[in-house]
Amino acid sequence: MSLLYQATNAVGVITLNRPEAMNAIDPETLTELRDCWIRISQDPKLRCVILTAAGTRAFCTGSDLKKTMPPKEGIAQLTFGAETTPHLLDGMDLVKIPILCAINGFAIGGGLELALACDLRIASQNAKFGLPEVCIGSIPGGAGTQRLPRIIGLSNAMHMLLTGTIVDASEAHRVGLVSHLVDEAELMSEAIAVANRIAANAPLSVRAIKKLVEEGMDMPLNHAIEHEAFVFGILRDSHDRIEGRKAFQEKRKPTFEGR
């Protein structure tokens, strides 16, 4: 199978499974990935999901150009007609729980755009990152020109985008593209540990934070702060918030129920 999925307790793990092709995304993988996001979005037991890939050479190098042909539809049909061409990020927006990306090897082109669409990224010391489309007369077509500046800042993003430079793991960490680096052998154990820490927290609070951050990025600061205050009010009397305060007072671990 070109994609593997398993769930243990409250954490799901998606593994791109085409190491022989640098985990490039072919049409079959694209469909499987979209269906997997939909499945995850409908599973109430999950509290975090990890996206990773098999092998050590690459996390993902984008679309498999050997198996991906240009769309048959004209520009007008693609723009105004019924949506028929699958997109790399289809289904990700349905997932309301945090998505953690564990990156080993190359995350290039659409592979980096897939990682950028996740909420949190950790990487092994051998990881490399780039959006080199400009070098072949194209542009990043999976929101790379928009997400990269929001994550690493305008100057760093413009340098990567306009030169097509491939950066190593230490530089990715320096600019904030990844939160932290680990040894190659420790990547998945660290990813699972982080996911379990997220999953142990109050699920409504976790989902609310994800939503606030995503929506607040497109708001003026004062509006975003007002939105935050509104969500805080919604959660104020929730079972889990009261449980969290009681557990703190009683010096015990809280039992969150997502209500």
- 33: DSSP letter: H
Averaged over 157-177, what is the pLDDT? 97
**75 or 52, greater pLDDT:** 52
Q: What is the CATH code of the structural domain delimited by 203-249?
A: 1.10.12
Residue of 32, 73, 83, 113 with catalytic role: 113
214 burial (CB, 10 Å; 0-12 / 13-18 / 19+) is exposed
As annotated, the residues of the chain forming the CATH 3.90.226.10 domain(s) are 3-199
Q: Please state the φ and ψ torsions of residue 75, each to the nearest 5 degrees.
A: -60, -40
DSSP characters for 46-113? Answer: -SEEEEEESSSSEEE-SB-TTT-PPPSS-HHHHHHS---S--TTTTGGG--S-EEEEE-SEEETHHHH
The span from the CA of 44 to the CA of 116, in Å, is 25
* b (16+ CB within 10 A) / e for 78-93: eeeeeeeeeebbbbbe
> Does pLDDT of 182 surpass 60?
yes
> Does pLDDT of 66 surpass 90?
no
pLDDT category of residue 81 using cuts at 50, 70 and 90:
confident
| Token duo for residue 230 | 């509104």
Averaged over 105-123, what is the pLDDT? 97
Averaged over 15-44, what is the pLDDT? 95
> Left if phi > 0, otherwise alpha if psi is -120 to 50, otherwise beta: which for 138?
beta
Averaged over 169-191, what is the pLDDT? 97
Q: What is the CATH code of the structural domain delimited by 3-199?
A: 3.90.226.10
Say how far residue 100 (Cα) sits from the centre of its chain. 6
Distances (CA, A) of 73 to 26, 27, 69, 125, 161: 19, 16, 12, 42, 28
* Torsion of the alpha carbons at 101, 2, 164 and 161, rounded to the nearest 10: -50
Averaged over 201-226, what is the pLDDT? 96
> Does pLDDT of 69 surpass 60?
no
As annotated, the residues of the chain forming the CATH 1.10.12 domain(s) are 203-249
> Does pLDDT of 205 surpass 90?
yes
> Does pLDDT of 133 surpass 70?
yes
Mean pLDDT over all residues of the chain?
A: 93
In this prediction, residue 85 carries a pLDDT of: 63
In this prediction, residue 70 carries a pLDDT of: 61
Total Cβ atoms within 10 A of residue 139? 10
pLDDT category of residue 42 using cuts at 50, 70 and 90:
very high
Residue of 20, 28, 83, 133 with catalytic role: 133
In this prediction, residue 74 carries a pLDDT of: 75
In this prediction, residue 78 carries a pLDDT of: 66
> Does pLDDT of 147 surpass 60?
yes
pTM of the model: 0.92
Averaged over 73-79, what is the pLDDT? 72
> Does pLDDT of 171 surpass 90?
yes
29 burial (CB, 10 Å; 0-12 / 13-18 / 19+) is buried
In this prediction, residue 197 carries a pLDDT of: 97
Length of the chain: 259
Angle at 12 between CA 102 and CA 29, to 5 degrees: 70
Averaged over 170-190, what is the pLDDT? 97
High-pLDDT (> 90) share of the chain, %: 84
Active site residue 113: yes
Whether the Cβ atoms of residue 169 and residue 130 lie closer than 8 Å to each other: no
The span from the CA of 206 to the CA of 210, in Å, is 6
3-27: pLDDT as tens digits = 999 999 999 999 999 999 999 999 9
